[in-house]
Amino acid sequence: MSVDVEQPRNGTRPSRRRPPRNGADGAPSVPVPPRLPGRRNPRWIALGVIAICLGGLLAYAVYARVSTETRVLAVSSTVYRGEVVDASDLTTVVLHGQPPGPTVSAVDEASVLGKRAVFDLPTGSLVAPGSLTDTTVPDGGRSVVGLRLATGRAPASLLVPSAPVRIVALPAPSNGTGAKDALVGKTYAGRVVAADPGADGTSTVVDVEVDAGQAPTIASLGAQDRIALVRDAGR
């Protein structure tokens, strides 16, 4: 038994409709609309710009401060004229910007140690190149004489280094001859190099810089205990 299937007249097979993939009920799918970007708050944008500007200014200020820092030497304790400078007399300070005058860099500290102060360097002052010298004491034409002075023969607390003094010749002890001493009352100008208490606890030992030609006479008077020191004004 055979079954005849009727073919379409144009010779093509009948088309088969596929069910739509989108939607279970066969309805066409609707495309998703694009997502719109969120609205930006102008206030936050302005704050961000301000923060960036402030950060840039702060960075520049820090850079400018660091780039202009200079470490220099200063005096930690007063150094009087003629005194030798050692490490305990110096400290380091940081300057910002242009220094007020000539200074000595902290890295050059070794170059100033052992030098003498040309003039008084008070505590806190900056060390200038011209404030120190290699000149030795005594200088040419000068001599240093050591004197031991009894209590009352010199000021108790004013014999600081480089202080100007007058050396006064006192009368010799009476020897019964009645001879007049031509040196009595004579004065000699000098400067204190150093002063320290004597070993006996009552006297003062003073090193005085004087004229080289007068040094023998002053030394002789000192040996005879015929010296008194007068502290003069100035430094």
Instruction: Return the sign of the alpha-carbon dihedral for residues 39, 40, 42, 43.
Output: positive
Q: How many domains does the chain have?
A: 2
DSSP structural state of residue 26: S
Residues 166 and 200 in one domain: yes
Tell me which residue has tokens 């009948």. 14
Binned at pLDDT 50, 70 and 90, residue 83 comes out as confident
* 38 inside domain: no
Give the residue, 63 or 213, on which the prediction is more confident.
213
Contact present, 144 and 114 (Cβ < 8 Å):
no
Binned at pLDDT 50, 70 and 90, residue 2 comes out as very low
Q: Give the CA distances from residue 155 to residues 79, 83, 190, 195, in Å, rounded to whole numbers and listed in that order.
A: 20, 20, 15, 11
Residue 209 burial (10 A CB sphere; 0-12, 13-18, 19+): buried
Share of the chain above pLDDT 90, in %: 22
pLDDT at 63: 66
pLDDT at 117: 85
CA distance 76 to 90: 5
pLDDT at 147: 93
Compute the average pLDDT of residues 185-193: 91
* 26 inside domain: no
pLDDT at 45: 77
| Segment 94-152, tens digit of pLDDT | 887 777 778 888 888 888 888 888 878 889 888 888 888 887 777 788 899 999 998 88
Question: What is the span of the domain harbouring residue 164?
Answer: 142-231
Average pLDDT, the chain: 80
pLDDT at 190: 92
Residues 127 and 150 in one domain: no
pTM over 0.75? The answer is no
pLDDT at 47: 82
Residues 151 and 171 in one domain: yes
Domain end (from 83, 105, 133): 133
Least confident stretch, 65-69, 133-137, 162-166: 65-69
* 7 inside domain: no
* 21 inside domain: no
pLDDT at 37: 61
Binned at pLDDT 50, 70 and 90, residue 3 comes out as very low
Least confident stretch, 41-50, 98-107, 169-178, 222-231: 169-178
